[in-house]
Each structure stands twice: as C-alpha cells, then as structure tokens.
A = this chain, B = another copy of it.
Amino acid sequence: MASIKYTYLFNQGNRGMKNLLGGKGAALAYMANKGLPVPPGFTITTQACNEYYENDCTIWPELQKQIDANLMIIEEQTGKQFGGMENPLLVSVRSGAPISMPGMMDTVLNLGLNDETVEVMAKLTNNRRFALDSYRRFIQIFSDVVLEISRDKFEHCLESVKKEFGIVHDNELTDQALENVIAGYKVIVKEHIGVDFYQDVRVQLDMAIKAVFESWQNNRAIIYRNLHNISHTIGTAVNIQSMVFGNFSDTSGTGVLFTRNPITGDNEIFGEYLINAQGEDVVAGIRTPLPLNKLKEEMPDVYQELYDIVKKMEISYKDVQDVEFTIENGRLYFLQTRSAKRTAMAALKIAIDMYDEGIIDKITALTRVDPEQVEQLLHPSFDSDILKDLHPISKGLPASPGAANGQIYLDAKTVAQKAGEGIETILIRHETTPDDIEGMIHCKAVVTSTGGMTSHAAVVARGMGRTCIVGCQNIELNYANRSVKIGEKIYQEGDWISVDGATGSIYEGKLETESNVVPDQFKTLMEWANEYALMEVRANVDNAEDAQKALDFGAVGIGLCRTEHMFFGENRIFDMQRMILANDKETRVDALEKLYPYQKDDFKAIYQVMKEYPANIRLLDPPLHEFLPKTDEDVKKLSSKINVSEKTIIERSIALEEVNPMLGHRGCRLAVTYPEIYNMQVRAIINAAVEVNNELHINLVPHIKIPLIVSLNELIKIRTELENTIEAELEKLNAKIDYEIGIMVETPRACLRADDLAPHCDFFSFGTNDLTQMTYGFSRDDFSKFSNDYMSKKILAVDPFAELDEEGVGKLIKMATDAARKANPKMKIGICGEHGGNPNSILACYKYGLDYVSCSPYRISLAKLVVAQATAFKLLSINN
C-alpha cells in the first residue's frame, strides 16, 4: 500500500486525470500547470475514497502520512502554518467527483480557524471584523455539512443577535455582534454533539475529509446514481486548497465569468463580481453583483490579466469556459474552470464560430449542440423573464414542445368552428381519440387531463408539430357546464390560457410568444450532421402533406404510415362503421369496396411525394370498437345513414367492447378473423404503387407492415394470404412490381421469437410504444395515474414512454436484433415507436446496430444530430 499515491499537489496532476482527481481537481491541476495564479493545494484521489470504505471508514496511516506531507508543502508554498499562531493557514475543503452529481457534500471554507487563530488573523489583517466574520461562517458551514446540525438553529441565532443590535444586513454586523453570534453558535454545537466546537485544526480537517468521503454514500447520492446508471464505485476526490479572501478588503472581491456570452453566444467576456465578498455572498443574492465592465474601470490591470488568461483557457480547452475567480488585495486567483452551460442559440453560434475561428474541427463542433436544445430553436417559446415571476396553474407532461396562447374549448367540433371564425383556440379534453383529429388540426395547443407521453394526444400532436401537454392531473372537465376546473378555479369556454409545451406548464391569461427565427447556422449544422449521420432517419407520417414536411426536414423514408386515421374522414367513417357492424362477410366486403378508392388515393398521394423513398405502410391496427360512434347523437346519425337500427349498433358496440383493448382483438388479429380487411388494404397499396410508377416512370417498392405479430404460424398465415392477394391483383393488372412485407416487432414474444420470424420478413420495425407497455405492464393510457408517484419517489428516473428503457425493453430489442441479423442478414431493422425522436433512445438504437429510426417530422433535425453525434463521439474517441 505504501507505494500508492493518494494525494496530488495541484501541479502534479493534469486535466486528463478526471477519473482519479475528479472534475474540479483536474481543472485545478490544469491551471496550476499552466502557471496560472491558483492558491496552492492538493487533491485526495477517488481511489482513496474507495479504500476509505474498505478500511471501515477510517483514514489509515498511509493516507494520513500523505495528507500531512502535502499540508507541509502548502505551508511552505504559502509561508503560513496550519493552526499556527504566526500566520495561520486556512483552507477550503471541497468534494469533486469525476461526474458532477447533486446530493454530495459541497464546500467548507475557512477551515483552520479556532478561538486562537481567529485572533491572530484579526491582528495580522488588522481587520477584526473580517476575522470574526470568517470564523462565524466557518462554524456555521462546518456544523451544517460535517456535523449535520440543522441550519435553522444558526439562522435563528443570527437573527436574534441582529434584532438585538438593530441590524438589517449581515455585513452590518459589528465586532461585538459577531462575537455574540460566535458564542451562540458554539452553544448550539455543544448542545448537539456534547462537546465544545473542535479547536484542533487537524481534527477539523480530518472530519471534513471524512464528511466528503461519506457524502458519496449518502442516500441522495445513491439514489441519484441508481437513477442515472452511474457506478457506485467511482468515488469522489477531495480538494484541499489554501484560502484567499475576497472579503478581505475593498480591493478584494469574487466573481464568475463566461468566456463568451452564454445566452447569445456572442464572442465577448460575460460575467459579474462582488467587491469585498466571499463566493457564497454571490449565491445568497444579498447584494447585487456588478457587471464585469465595471471591473475594467475599477481595476484595469486585474481585468486585463483576467481577460488574457481566460481567453487562453478557452483556446486551450477548446470550449467556452465558466470561471470562478477571487481577488485578494488586488491580486487575482483562479479557483475553478469548467465548460459553460449555454442556451440553444448560444450553443449553435459558438459551435459554428469556433469552427470558423479554427479553434475546433467540424466533428467537435457537431457535438457541441445538445440535440434536445434543437427543439428550442425550432419552436416558439415564452419569454423566460416573464415566466420567472409566474406560477403555473397546472403542470402536466411536456408531450409536444412549443408555446401557444388561446381560448379554451372542450370539443373538437367547437374548436374547428371557432377556428373558422378566426379565433385562436386551445383544445382541452379528458383524453383525445381519433374523433378529435379535426379539432387538433385547428387548435393552437392540445391539453389533456389524463394520458402519458405516448397517449393518442401526445403522439398525434407531436406528429403535427402541435404544442401539447398531457396528464394534467389537477384539471377536471365539466362538459355539461362547458367549463374546466383547474386547481380550485373554474374557467369557462372562451377564457384565455397559455401553454408551454417545453415544460408542461399552463399559465392563466394570454402570454406573448416569441417566434424563434431559425438562424443560418442551423442549416450549416444540419449539413454537417448529414455528412456524419450513419443511421437513417425516417419519419412517422400518415398523409402526403406530412410526408412532404418530412422530406423537407431531411427524412429519407417513412418508418411508419398508420392507415387507421385515413378512415375517419366524413365520407369514410360510415362505410368503416358499416364494415364493422356487418354480420356477414358479404356486407363487410361490400363496405370495404366502398373504402377501397379512398385508401388507394391516400396511398397514391403519399407515393407521389415519397417516390422511391421507402414508405412502410402499417395495415390496420386498432381494435374495431375505436371506430364506432360514442355518443347517442352519433349513433342516431349512423343508424339513419346505414339503415341499421340504433339498438343493433349499440348491441354490437357493447359486444365489441374489451376489458383491456390494448391486449385485445387488434393488429393482425383482425386479419385472422377478417382477412378481407387487409386484402382490401394491400390491393389499394399495390394499385396505388403501380399507378404512380406508371405516371412518374419510377420504380417504387411498396413496403407493407403487419402489426402485432406474436408467432411464426400467424405470420405465415397472414403473409401467404397477402401474397396471394397481391399476386392475383398483379395478374389482373398485368403488372410487375417488387414489394416487401415486414412486421412490427412490438410484443415481447415477437422479440423472443425473432430468429423464427426473421427469415419470413423483409424488414423488422420495432414498435417501442407497445413493447414498453407490455414489457413493463404499463398501460400508456393509465400510466399517468401513478407515474408521478414513481418519479417523485425516485423509482423511475425518466418516463419509459419518453426515453427507451434500455435495461428491459432495450434488452429485448438487442436480443431480437442479434437473432434476426443471424437468421436473415440482409433485412432492414429499425424502430418506429415514439422513442425514435428521443436522443438517448436514438443512441441506444445506434448501439444495437439498427438501420434506421423513425420519428415525427418535427424531430427529424434532432434525430439527425443525435445520429451524427454518435459517429462524431466515436471518431473523437478514436482520435484521442
């Protein structure tokens, strides 16, 4: 053990040693090595943290020895002595894990003060107030983070002293008041730990180090790591650094700066600072910090030094830096540097600018825009300054981004009618059904009180780029009174609300939206993405208009074209309903024949747009009862239209009802019972394809997708039936055409039998919505009933309908993909569930080796960027 190095002086490390020294330690090492003014200090390694746990949570002699040795060096470098009576060394103790992580111990400042050293400091600095203030801060922080004594007690003590002295702000505390505070704090400590506050500075230091180590295993940290799949054995480093004092004098101060503007991306230093203050004062917000320009005026030399250094740091790190600095008596020190957080707009501008400036290459630039942020660029939003002061009246799941205001209406028909009158509307429903499409098209935003991230409302709204929030649990609809109760307040139809699809928040009244203008840099970025995107990105679209949108956004095919929405048009729904209500095959076939021309025209329109791009058309999927009328009025209407008694319609509807429709008579199960439905659909597809091929002189290949397959027998039965129908049709047409038949892989069983199924499929398309439902046993329509509990109790980190569950659903996809590749190496495999538009899920698909992801047209840019980044990260890791 003696040979292991557990401690690194800052100048002994380097910035590549993040795993051993933590993020903060590596940054300090980098700065120290560059010769920047960093207060001397050292880092205890993450390895030491892990061995601490193996040593029953004691600091063993070897580690003790190394700490002591390093302390001595710091003492030499600073000319101060830890606990010494001439020039006492004070230090800060900070945690610093390789991955930034909430829940861990933060910072202890001013460690090394005790009843004696505080007096030395007072004399030495000729500033008793400063010394006492530092001491009372130290006792308070140490008690909080090391001794775990509730902060309230100290605040209470401080307040009572302030009242006693008639003081309002902390910085007005007199020496006497501070002495009283210190005395009060000590009483609190003794009450809690039974002994006097620790005067031995070496004990103080050991306790702080142990506290940092132990915070690695506290509950908050463990739960966080479980949720984010972070290994528990990484450990945290500890940074011990000699103090410099921004609160020393009026030529002292502390501040934070960004090397470029993190909001606009402009190439200008941006930051703020406080004179005569320690870091925590900036955070506490007691005084308003000054803009950095002010420093240029006040201390031009310091500013220039700061400017020169941080610009060099930016170039060295090849990224915008977020830098913490302190000025002690006019002398500049750096305490921390890291990559700066930035807005979408800034991220984009900075990436392109830095490429133009020759600081980074194209691959690196590609990785600098968070794909999730792309949404912000493409959709309108509310002014964040206005939102800051507003309290949302409801909060749901952010199902589809964008910001919108409008007058609320409770049904699709009214929305369509009001929209016709030029009124801007928000459609609020308990949940939406295909019946509501008309309203969803005409409204500005959709809000539902139930449903999850893949509910009907969410899926359809995302598909049309409509702002949408689902599962707002505090919304109760009263259709009779045409009103909505949100929280405790009642809103009538026509009242204004504002809907923020990015956050899931709903606000009262009409908030102005800001339409983001897509900057030219975005086009540049997407062109670069195209160069590096190695996995195809297709779109989920159901009609020609959306197909065109998808191509405009850069899609190279349709991953999923649902055919059920096509049956809801005014003229079609009655024939659809007549087909469903048919008692015999003859009536059913007759009704299907009426639907045939509509279907053919729909497919033709799509093919005319997509041309030779692949377009996977999924045959009818939902249970038939979804198409039947829901209200008495609609039953009456249908009855007169198709000449079937209301009683029969109601009886048949009841007979078709299901306890668990998700697991019921739907998908290809419909084709087993009523083969004539799919037969009509494939005839429409084949005729449409043949006609478009002739019209445009192209060679498009129809891709036909069978939903909900669970077994080989089922597949063979249905595929044979389809092939026979197609061959007969082609013979009748005297035409030749290639076609592909594939399946939705969306039941766990299909994944488990992939090796059987693959040889009989031209392609696989994972339906991750249904697969998630069945793997978890979570109904997406009912999930919102308990998802809040699962999130708030940290059982689930993310909604598995929003982000692919790699541990469960992903495992099935991986298994199935590997088996299918082996059984049928030439088949295409992709996903077309809602996850196709989610960054982490797309990365998972890339990892599983899929050929494509498919998502709503509005997510295509995001998806392309993710796919390109996957390649970019791989290339970067090879180059490094």
* Chain A residues within 8 Å of B, Cβ to Cβ: 226-227, 658-665, 669, 672-673, 708, 710-714, 717, 746-749, 752-753, 770, 773-779, 781-782, 785-786, 789-790, 793-796, 805, 807-809, 811-812
Give CA–CA (A811, B710) in the complex, Å: 14
B774 A770 Cβ-Cβ under 8 A: no
Q: Hey, which chain B residues are within 8 Å of A790, CB to CB?
A: 669, 672, 714
Closest 5 CB pairs of A and B: A663-B779, A660-B779, A659-B781, A749-B808, A664-B782
Could you list 9 A-B pairs, sorted by A, with CB under 8 Å? A663-B774, A663-B777, A663-B782, A664-B779, A710-B776, A711-B795, A749-B777, A752-B775, A752-B811
Question: How many copies altogether?
Answer: 2
Give CA–CA (A746, B809) in the complex, Å: 15
Give CA–CA (A749, B793) in the complex, Å: 20
Q: Is the contact region of chain A dominated by helix, strand, or loop, or is it mixed?
A: helix
A794 B713 Cβ-Cβ under 8 A: yes
Give CA–CA (A45, B444) in the complex, Å: 76
Q: Hey, which chain B residues are within 8 Å of A782, CB to CB?
A: 658-661, 663-665
State which of B226, B658, B776, B812 has its C-beta within 8 Å of the C-beta of A779: B658
A752 B807 Cβ-Cβ under 8 A: yes
Nearest CB of B to A650, in Å = 14
State which of B227, B777, B812 has its C-beta within 8 Å of the C-beta of A747: B777
State which of B662, B752, B789, B805 has its C-beta within 8 Å of the C-beta of A663: B662
Give CA–CA (A808, B790) in the complex, Å: 29
A665 B713 Cβ-Cβ under 8 A: no
Give CA–CA (A664, B782) in the complex, Å: 6
State which of B777, B779, B796 has its C-beta within 8 Å of the C-beta of A713: B796
B717 A672 Cβ-Cβ under 8 A: no
A749 B775 Cβ-Cβ under 8 A: yes
Q: Hey, which chain B residues are within 8 Å of A663, CB to CB?
A: 660, 662-663, 773-774, 776-779, 782
Give CA–CA (A774, B794) in the complex, Å: 25
Q: Hey, which chain B residues are within 8 Å of A785, CB to CB?
A: 658, 664-665
Q: Hey, which chain B residues are within 8 Å of A752, CB to CB?
A: 775, 807-808, 811-812
State which of B660, B661, B708, B774 has its C-beta within 8 Å of the C-beta of A748: B774
A661 B659 Cβ-Cβ under 8 A: yes
Give CA–CA (A710, B658) in the complex, Å: 25
Q: Hey, which chain B residues are within 8 Å of A226, CB to CB?
A: 712-713
* Known interface pairs A659-B782, A661-B659, A713-B226; A775-B789 also in contact (CB < 8 Å): no
Nearest CB of B to A669, in Å = 5
Closest to A669 in B: B786
Nearest CB of B to A168, in Å = 42
A777 B708 Cβ-Cβ under 8 A: yes
B713 A786 Cβ-Cβ under 8 A: no
B748 A672 Cβ-Cβ under 8 A: no
Known: A672-B790, A710-B777, A717-B793. 15 other contacts (CB 8 A): A658-B782, A658-B785, A659-B779, A660-B663, A662-B779, A664-B779, A665-B785, A669-B790, A672-B789, A713-B796, A746-B777, A748-B775, A752-B775, A752-B811, A774-B777
Q: Hey, which chain B residues are within 8 Å of A749, CB to CB?
A: 775-777, 805, 808-809
A748 B659 Cβ-Cβ under 8 A: no
B789 A673 Cβ-Cβ under 8 A: yes
Nearest CB of B to A52, in Å = 24
Q: Hey, which chain B residues are within 8 Å of A710, CB to CB?
A: 776-778, 808
Give CA–CA (A782, B795) in the complex, Å: 31
State which of B712, B774, B809 has its C-beta within 8 Å of the C-beta of A774: B774
